[in-house]
Amino acid sequence: MPDEALRQRFEAVVNSAIEPLVRQYLKEAYRCFVTQAFNGAVVMTWNAVACYLRLVVRTISVDLFRDSYKTLHRQEPGEDLSLINDSLFMQACDGAGILCDVVPDLHLLRKSRNDCAHPTGIFVSVDEALELAESIGHVVSRRVVEERLTNPAILRKFARNASKPDAEGIAKWVREDLCPQLAHDLLTIFERDDFERDDEVTNVSGIIGLWRGLWNRVDEATRQRLWNRIERIVQNTLRDVERALRTPEELVRLIVWPAPDAECPPRDRIGELFVTWFEGLVQSGQFRPEDMRLARELRQYFPSSLRERLQAALQEMTRRYAE
């Protein structure tokens, strides 16, 4: 049996684990360690790390992980994350920007685990088993809820292909200091579509989802700059809807509308642009059923003064459409 000092050092690793299931694996590793089953201790120590990796993926976004896995390995990952090859799993985590500060430190332990779990003829010593356990103390002592996504390029790429709920769901995991610039980048992609790549993004649901998720995570100064950009995009779009990259409907989905009775000058200016556009459609008679649906939707976002004008325009469109 290892002496008391060595046992205490191993116990310290066990006690540092925050997540209950991770600690359970480490307790099993400790039981192996004190009975001199050092290879078993290494295997169970690795299981604690592998468990933490999968807890983080399940908590933050399985879809972000799957997108990275498919890109890297040209195949769909299995439904059961616990059965995915550890090396492929780690590569996909790194490619998704999940735990990328941790993954590079785990390769030695993973190799040792593979040596100990297979008939390689390798048997680790008490010191090696303890050293490997202590090498992952900085990993198992982390909290899943405190993990953050730190690679904006990966997040922008994911948003281009994700659904709105999937993209919006990862917004809360983005590291706080990255949120302002990422929000500006997403608005640039929405506006120009030639940002970072040449092919067109025809479905902006993911862009809109991540953007909306970030809105309440940026400070007021950043939000004001974003409002100014949105106002310009709305103005340019409504000036020539036929040639605009984005539709009025997409603009309405993009904007995080404050309560109608809340004081918000940027919202009021944008609302004025929309109402004036609808009034122009009424005058020209060149409106579509989808324009009427959009007008009905916008009523809930506008203050009373704009809502009354919008309602009048909608009533006139309805009357003419019925004729």
32-38 mean pLDDT: 97
Q: What torsion, rounded to 10 degrees, do the Cα atoms 226, 229, 235, 236 define?
A: -140
The answer to whether 110 touches 76, Cβ cutoff 8 Å, is: no
- What integer pLDDT is reported at residue 304 of this predicted model? 94
Give the distance from CA 18 to its chain's centroid. 24
Residue 206 to residue 170: CA distance in whole angstroms: 11
Q: What gap in Å lies between CA 263 and CA 31, rounded to an integer?
A: 63
Other beta carbons within 10 Å of 129: 26
pLDDT tens track for 180-199: 999 999 999 999 865 555 45
The packing angle between helices 38-60 and 126-135, to 10°, is: 10
* Domain assignments of the chain as residue spans, ordered by start: 4-146, 148-256, 258-323
pLDDT at 237 > cutoff 60: yes
Reported pTM: 0.89
C-alpha to C-alpha distance for 27 and 220, rounded to whole angstroms: 47
Q: Is the pLDDT of residue 22 over 90?
A: yes
Question: Is pLDDT of 200 > 90?
Answer: no
Q: What is the mean pLDDT of residues 244-252?
A: 94
- Tens of pLDDT, residue by residue over 44-57, are 999 999 999 999 99
- 305 to 262, 283, 285, 293, 323: CA distances (angstroms): 13, 20, 23, 20, 28
**Cβ–Cβ < 8 Å for 123, 104:** no
Residue whose token pair is 């604690």 = 48
